[in-house]
Every structure is written in C-alpha cells, then in structure tokens.
C-alpha cells in the first residue's frame, strides 16, 4: 500500500504514510482513530464539527505575476501573497510532523486525453476514504511511477491564527496554481477537498479548449446525453440519478469536441429527507465504503435522514459505481438537452420553460437560485443569490471565458435548453410546499424525450421565457405560476421584485452584447 515516506511529501518525522489503502483498511483506520461509527448498512458516519458546509470566506488564490491577469479577482477569488501562503504551508507541514498520514493518488477527468493526476494527503483516514471514493481510482500499474500534477494537503486539525496568518478565520483553503499546490486547514468538511479539485480543473481545462461545468450528466439508451446545471440543493444529483438513463456523473464535467466526461469518479449527495421511495438509487448507495457526514444515527446505527439538527447539509460520498446504472467510464457523446436548475424561493418562476440561445446565455451567466440552508456556513434559510455559471465559487477565470465556450457549444450542437424551477410555485418558500419531485421528474423526462418540442408555448411577459401550455404527466394549471397563486396581486409584486433583481445583477456584466442583455426578465 505504501512506498512513500513523510519526507517524500515534504514532511519531517517518522510517521507512517499509508498510500492508496483499500476501503476496508481506511474504514478500519478511521474507526480505530475514533473518527466515526458505522451505520446499520456499513457506511462510515462522521461529524465534521463547526464546519458543516463550504466556507467561501476562507478561500484564497495565491497572487503571482504569472497568473495575476488570468484570475477574476473579487469577493470570490480573494488574493493571498506567495509569502503568506508559504508561511501557512510551513506551519501545516510542521503540524503534520511525526503523524501517520493517508495518501490517495488518483485522477480527475474520465476522458484520458484530459486527465489530471492528483495526490491528496490527509490527516484523517475518513477524509482519505472520501476522496478515494470521489476521484477516479487508479490501477496498480497506473500507480507505478505516479507523479502528481497537483497536490492537496488537508489537515483539519491545524488551525490558523487570523491575526498572525492574515486570513479570515482558523480555516484556510488556499490554491497556488503556479506551485500546483492546495492547502486545506481547519475544516473537516470533505466537500472542501472535492471542490478544490474542481477549482483546479476549472483553471486547467479551459486552457485545453474544454468547457468545465458545475453540472450533472446522464445518457439515454439512444446515446442522447443530457446536462443539468445548478447550485447545490437544486437537484443535480437527484434528477440525474434516473433509473431509465445511465449516470455519467452528478456534479462536475468537461465538455470537449468529443462530448461530455465526468471529472470525478464518485458522487456527493445531499441526504436531508432522503427516502428509499423518492431517491432509491442514492438511498441504496449508502453502504460499506460510503462516507456519511453529519447524519444522526441511533444506538443501532440507523440513520435519521429527516434530522437536520447538526446541519441541513447532511451528505453521502460514494463511488459512482454504487449507482446501479452508472456509465463506466463516465463519458458520453454531445449533449442534446441542457437543463438549468434553480430553486426559486419567490415561488414565481415557471416550473419549466424553454430557452433560445440568447435566453440560455443570459441565465447561464446569471446563475439564479436560492441558496438552501446549510450548503454554506451561516445559511439557515433560503437566500436569493446569483452565482455566475451556476457555480461562481469554483471558477477562477473570467466568466466570459466559460460563457463564450458555452455559447459556441450550443451553436455547434443545437442542444435544446430548458430552465427548471425545482423550488416553490404558488407562494414564497415557507408558505407553500416545495414543488413535488414527481412533477419535476416528469417535466425533465418530457424535455429529454423530445415531448416538449412541438407543444404550444406562451412567452412569459415578466421573465421572458417560453412556457409550455401542456406537459405529459403534469397538471397543466401548475405550469403557469399565476394560476397557482391565490393572491394574484402578491404574485405580480413578487414576480416584478425578482425580475428587478435579475436586472440589477446583470448590470455588472458590462461587456455583454445587447441581444443577451435583452433576453432577460423585464421588471
């Protein structure tokens, strides 16, 4: 399992390095280290402490002359000096002295032409289990002579001192693109490791002419790939895990001239209110080898998926092959259908609408949704947000780089684009139930099957999208939110308020052509 030594990782001391251990060994190590307990199905259950979601205020990019002009600096991509990063690195490596370490060497990018090699160094066996399951696992032959393109060191036990280290809190997620190194300190939330890989790929892939996307993807029997964009909590994992289609991946993909490929080798599903009835594929994937984060279990190890007392952002990490109909390897042809997912807390966006290419570009750049409770620290109820490209926290380059590539792909492939509201309809969040999953599934299935190609549409006068009058297996009256709101004046007020938010947000994109600007909502 290991021919590496601490010194090979730049770490002093006589600790043991366990490299690419099999799943049973990692589970055994985690249990021996008291990192977690087993569920009744054999999943490893851990609590991640105060950090139960990503911590975007603690993320930094090293600002060097080489990359300075490439990065879209701002509130999301915060700079840190090379000296500041290296000082934290030195302290982290000193902290890891003489500790036993867990290393996973593996791949990101299922298309071998665009694969990147990653080395993940973990303080915790449970986090190493997670990334072992989430990335693409190498063969023994591939491990021979393995040299990483990027290294990630995750030490949740090391806490920064903000006043000394010049950072926001005890947590730190820092990327040095020039040194090909990522540091993660202070947070045990495993999603920080996964999203750090994604942030690296979002820097690397566009340079190779590949559109990197925060999306899930699946493929039908006829080879018809579909892509689902959306922020966490909007339904990417749930809707792509369709028993009638093969799952390519649930969260991160590249789109090349050959088609779509999964960046990962695993899935990271939300577990709150999970049930075998509504999400059987995900429910069945929670077994030995899966990591469960912040799920409450009883004395017999039975999970209570309805219990959000630690966080609403309960999670399960498992390899994609735990989904029975996964596409292995995770590659598909050119997508025929693109779905933008949003969870509208205003309750006014149509449940499904069809977009022309200008509308599609507008909504891709806008990336509207309501952040759901627990996805990020401090979010306790739905909050309206616009996240460029449906994943702004993970994209280091200018949004125009990715948007231009998407526009080119839509033109080349003729893919159909739909905007699907998986949130609320008929009232604001908290006043009415969320959209029934069975209706959302039916709408998505109809879009993928081409059953919405020839139906009659009306143009929504406020949101400027094409709304179908009918959809198989969906009550026609819910397709237009106006019909569902009992207080029509309240609908008009809420709809115009949201449209105004769209307009205000889009003003910051000063270089957008008029045809795209005019394709948005009209307050």
Round to whole Å and give the CA distance between 293 and 286: 11
Q: Are strands 211-219 and 252-256 parallel, antiparallel or unpaired?
A: antiparallel
Round to whole Å and give the CA distance between 205 and 182: 17
Q: Which two tokens stand for residue 405?
A: 């590539």
Round to whole Å and give the CA distance between 353 and 50: 39
Closest among 468, 460, 388, 477 to 426, alpha carbons compared: 477
Q: Which two tokens stand for residue 51?
A: 């950090």
275 is catalytic: no
221 is catalytic: no
In residues, how long is the chain? Answer: 523
Catalytic residue among 237, 240, 290, 388: 237
236 is catalytic: yes
Catalytic residue among 39, 48, 52, 54: 54
Round to whole Å and give the CA distance between 212 and 491: 37
Closest among 216, 246, 274 to 43, alpha carbons compared: 274
Residue ranges with strand state E in 356-413:
368-371, 383-386
Catalytic residue among 59, 214, 371, 409: 214
253 is catalytic: no
Tokens 């390899």 identify what position?
A: 319
Contact status, residue 11 vs residue 30, Cβ threshold 8 Å: no
Round to whole Å and give the CA distance between 420 and 386: 16
Q: Which two tokens stand for residue 13?
A: 């001391």
Q: Are strands 172-176 and 211-219 parallel, antiparallel or unpaired?
A: unpaired
315 is catalytic: yes
Count of Cβ atoms closer than 10 Å to residue 475 Cβ: 12
54 is catalytic: yes
Catalytic residue among 63, 224, 251, 358: 251
Contact status, residue 182 vs residue 159, Cβ threshold 8 Å: no
Catalytic residue among 52, 151, 232, 290: 232
Catalytic residue among 119, 315, 354, 377: 315
Catalytic residue among 89, 236, 253, 270: 236
Contact status, residue 370 vs residue 423, Cβ threshold 8 Å: yes
Q: Please, what's the largest Cα pairwise distance for the chain?
A: 71
Catalytic residue among 59, 195, 354, 409: 195
Task: Answer positive or negative: Cα dihedral of 178, 179, 181, 185.
Answer: negative
Return the HEC string of 382-407: CEEEECHHHCHHHCCECHHHHHHHHH
Round to whole Å and give the CA distance between 107 and 322: 18
Round to whole Å and give the CA distance between 266 and 322: 9
- Known catalytic residues are 54, 195, 214, 232, 236-237, 251, 315
């Amino acid at each position: 399992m290991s021919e590496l030594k601490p010194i090979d990782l730049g770490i002093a001391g006589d600790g043991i390095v366990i490299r690419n251990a099999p799943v049973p060994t990692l589970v055994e190590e985690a249990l021996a280290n008291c990192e977690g307990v087993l569920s009744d199905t054999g999943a490893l259950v851990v609590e991640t402490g105060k950090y139960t979601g990503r911590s975007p205020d603690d993320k930094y990019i090293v600002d060097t002359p080489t990359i300075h002009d490439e990065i879209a600096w701002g509130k999301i991509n915060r700079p840190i000096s090379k000296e500041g990063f290296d000082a934290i690195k030195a302290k982290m490596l000193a902290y890891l002295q003489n500790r036993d370490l867990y290393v996973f060497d593996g791949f990101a990018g299922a298309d071998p032409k665009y694969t990147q090699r990653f080395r993940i160094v973990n303080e915790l066996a449970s986090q190493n289990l997670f990334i072992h399951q989430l990335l693409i696992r190498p063969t023994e032959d591939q491990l021979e002579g393995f040299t990483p393109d990027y290294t990630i060191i995750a030490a949740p036990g090391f806490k920064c001192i903000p006043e000394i280290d010049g950072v926001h809190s005890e947590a730190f997620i820092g990327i040095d693109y020039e040194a090909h190194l990522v540091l993660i300190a202070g947070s045990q939330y495993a999603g920080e490791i996964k999203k750090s890989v994604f942030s690296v790929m979002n820097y690397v892939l566009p340079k190779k002419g590949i559109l990197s996307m925060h999306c899930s993807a699946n493929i039908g029997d006829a080879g018809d790939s579909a892509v689902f964009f959306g922020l966490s909590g909007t339904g990417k994992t749930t809707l792509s895990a369709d028993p009638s289609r093969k799952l390519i991946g649930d969260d991160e993909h590249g789109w090349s001239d050959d088609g779509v490929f999964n960046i990962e080798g695993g899935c990271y599903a939300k577990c709150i209110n999970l049930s075998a009835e509504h999400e059987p594929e995900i429910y069945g994937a929670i077994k030995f080898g899966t990591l469960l984060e912040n799920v409450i279990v009883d004395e017999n190890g039975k999970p209570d998926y309805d219990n959000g007392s630690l966080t609403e952002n309960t999670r399960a990490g498992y390899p994609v092959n735990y989904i029975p109909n996964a596409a292995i390897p995770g590659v598909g042809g050119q997508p025929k259908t693109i779905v933008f997912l949003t969870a509208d807390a205003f309750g006014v966006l149509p449940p499904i609408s069809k977009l022309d290419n200008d509308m599609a570009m507008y909504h891709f750049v806008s990336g509207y949704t309501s952040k759901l409770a627990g996805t990020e620290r401090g979010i306790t109820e739905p909050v309206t947000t616009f996240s460029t490209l449906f994943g702004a926290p993970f994209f280091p380059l200018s949004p125009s780089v990715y948007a231009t590539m998407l526009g080119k792909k839509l033109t080349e492939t003729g893919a159909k684009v739909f905007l699907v509201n998986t949130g609320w309809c008929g009232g604001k969040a908290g006043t009415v139930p969320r959209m029934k999953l069975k209706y959302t599934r039916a709408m998505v299935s109809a879009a993928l099957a081409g059953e919405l190609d020839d139906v009659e549409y009306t143009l929504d006068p406020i949101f400027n999208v094409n709304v179908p009058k009918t959809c198989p297996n969906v009550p026609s009256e819910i397709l237009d939110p106006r019909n569902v709101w009992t207080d029509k004046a309240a609908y008009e007020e809420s709809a115009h308020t949201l449209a105004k938010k769209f307009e205000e947000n889009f003003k910051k994109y000063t270089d957008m052509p008029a045809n795209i600007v005019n394709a948005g909502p009209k307050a």
